[in-house]
Amino acid sequence: MTSLFDPTTIGDIAVQNRVAMAPLTRNRSPQAVPNDLNVVYYEQRASAGLIITEGTPVTQQGQGYADVPGLYLPQAIEGWKKVTEAVHQRGGKIVAQIWHVGRVSHTSLQPNGDAPVAPSALPANGKTYVVNPDGSGAFVETSAPRALELSEIPGIVEDFRKGARAAIAAGFDGVEIHGANGYLIDQFLKRGANQRSDAYGGSIENRARLLLEIVDAVAAEIGGGRTGLRLSPVTPANNIVEEEPQPLFDYVAGELGKRHLAFIHVIEGATGGPRDFKQGNEAFDYHAMKSAYRAAGGTGAWMVNNGYDAESAKAAVESGYADVVAFGRTFIANPDLVERLETGAPLNKPEVETFYGGGAKGYTDYPSLEAVPA
Ligand code: 8OZ
C-alpha cells in the first residue's frame, strides 16, 4: 500500500514524500523582493516533499497585498535564487505559485495608482492589506476594478508565461498557477465575477478559456511536467460566487486531463474553513472531478488540501484517492511537519496574529523537535 511518506514523482519532479507545503501568504518581503529571513523560513521547511511558495505575482498589476514577493523584478529573481538554493541544499523541492489577483487589489498597489483589472467591472467587496507611507499597515476596501479589454487578454497570458520563465531562472523546480480563491483566473471561471459577452464569458468553455490559455502558455514555456495548477471549486474566498460549480470543474478537469501536467491541486470546501462548504444546492463531488481528469488521460499527481490531519492525510493516500496532501497552517507552526506526522509527535499550534506581516516572530521561530539524546 502506498504511504504518505513514500517518495514519488510529481510530473518531472522527484520528491521524498507526498506531503506538500501549501502556498501561504506571509507579507514579509518588502519591495516585492525575497530576503534572507524568507530564505531561513523556506529552508526550515525543506523536508516537505514539495514546497509551494506563497502567491507570487507575475506583474505589479497582479499585486493585491503589501509586502508580497513577486517574480517581475530582477532583484526578486536574485532573492528567490537564494531560497531555491537553500531548499535544494537540504534535499527539498520547491515550486513558485504564480499569481494575478485581478480585482482583489487596491489602487495604491497598482502601477500609476490605476484601477485593478477584472473580467467585469464588479467590485470584490472585500478587504486587502496595504502599508501606509509612514510604514504602518492598514486593512482597506478593495478598489473598484475595470474590465479587461479583449485586446489585453493575450498580455495577461504572456505575463504568466514570463513569470514561469522567471521562476525557472530563479532555480525553482516548476510552478503552480494560482487558479483558486477568487483571484483573476477564478474570477474568469465563475459567473459571480464574470459577465463578459465575448469569447471569455458566458458558456463554461468561454469562462475556462483564460485558464487553459495560461496553462498551455506556461506548459509550452517550461514543460508540462513542471507545471501545476491550484483550483478551488466551491470556495467563497474573496466573495467569489458560482452556483453551478460541478459542470464547470468537471469540464475544466477534462480539459486538463488532455494536457501533460505535473499536478492538480484542489482545495476541498471553503479555503481554511469547512470542508463540506457548498455553492449552489448540491454537495460538490471531488471524486467525480478527479474521475473526469483521469478519464481524459490526465496523469499528473492529484493533490488535495484543506483541513487534513495525520489520519485523514494518510487515509487519502492509502486509499488511492490522493497522490499528495498539502498542509497550510500546520506547516506555518511545524517546520519539521513531515517528521511529526510520521512519528506522531505533538504539533505546535499556529498563531493567527503573526500570519501576515512582521518579522521572525511567528515566522522562523517555531521550534523543531529536539534531537533525541543518544
Ligand atoms: C491569505 C491572505 C492573503 C492572500 C490565497 C493568496 O487565499 C492568498 C491569500 C491568503 O490564495
Asked whether 237 lines ligand 1 (CB < 6 A), one says: yes
Name the residue at shortest CA distance from atom 7 of ligand 1.
Answer: 181
Name the residue at shortest CA distance from atom 9 of ligand 1.
Answer: 25
For 162-188, give one letter per residue: b (16+ CB within 10 A) or e.
bbbbbbbebbbbbbbbbbbbbbbbbbb
Residue 141 belongs to what H/E stretch? strand 137-141
- Phi, psi values for residue 322, rounded to 5°: -115, 145
- Distance, in Å, from the CA atom of 106 to the CA atom of 118, rounded to the nearest integer, reads 12
Q: What pLDDT sits at residue 131?
A: 82
What distance lies between CA 176 and its chain's CA centroid?
6
Question: Is 286 one of the annotated active-site residues of the chain?
Answer: no
Candidates 312, 368, 363; CA nearest to 54 is: 363
Asked whether 181 lines ligand 1 (CB < 6 A), one says: yes
- Phi, psi values for residue 43, rounded to 5°: -60, -40
Strand 227-231 to 174-178 pairing: parallel
For 19-46, give one letter per residue: b (16+ CB within 10 A) or e.
bbbbbbbbbbbeebbbeeebbbbbbbbb
Asked whether 65 lines ligand 1 (CB < 6 A), one says: yes
CA atoms within 13 A on the CB side of 185: 28
Neighbours of 250 (CB within 10 A): 20
What distance lies between CA 197 and its chain's CA centroid?
28
**Tally of helices (H runs) and strands (E runs) in the chain:** 11, 14
What distance lies between CA 122 and its chain's CA centroid?
23
CATH class of the domain defined by 8-371: alpha beta
Q: What pLDDT sits at residue 132?
A: 81
Strand 8-10 to 13-15 pairing: antiparallel
pLDDT by residue for the chain (374 residues), tens only, comes to 999 999 999 999 999 999 999 999 999 999 999 999 999 999 999 999 999 999 999 999 999 999 999 999 999 999 999 999 999 999 999 999 999 999 999 999 999 999 999 999 999 999 998 888 787 778 899 999 999 999 999 999 999 999 999 999 999 999 999 999 999 999 999 999 999 999 999 999 999 999 999 999 999 999 999 999 999 999 999 999 999 999 999 999 999 999 999 999 999 999 999 999 999 999 999 999 999 999 999 999 999 999 999 999 999 999 999 999 999 999 999 999 999 999 999 999 999 999 999 999 999 999 999 755 55
Do residues 248 and 283 lie in contact, with contact meaning Cβ atoms separated by under 8 Å?
A: no
Q: Could you identify the atom of ligand 1 that is nearest to the CA of residue 272? A: 7
Q: Which of 42, 72, 129, 183 is catalytic?
A: 183
- Sign of torsion over alpha carbons 111, 117, 121, 125: negative
- Phi, psi values for residue 15, rounded to 5°: -125, 155
Nearest-5° Cα angle at 344, 348 to 45: 50
Q: Could you identify the atom of ligand 1 that is nearest to the CA of residue 356? A: 2
Residue 371: CB partners within 8 Å, gap ≥ 6? none
Asked whether 55 lines ligand 1 (CB < 6 A), one says: yes
Name the residue at shortest CA distance from atom 1 of ligand 1.
Answer: 25
Name the residue at shortest CA distance from atom 3 of ligand 1.
Answer: 25
Share in percent of the chain as helix, strand, coil (round to 5) = 35, 15, 50
Asked whether 332 lines ligand 1 (CB < 6 A), one says: no
Q: Could you identify the atom of ligand 1 that is nearest to the CA of residue 238? A: 7
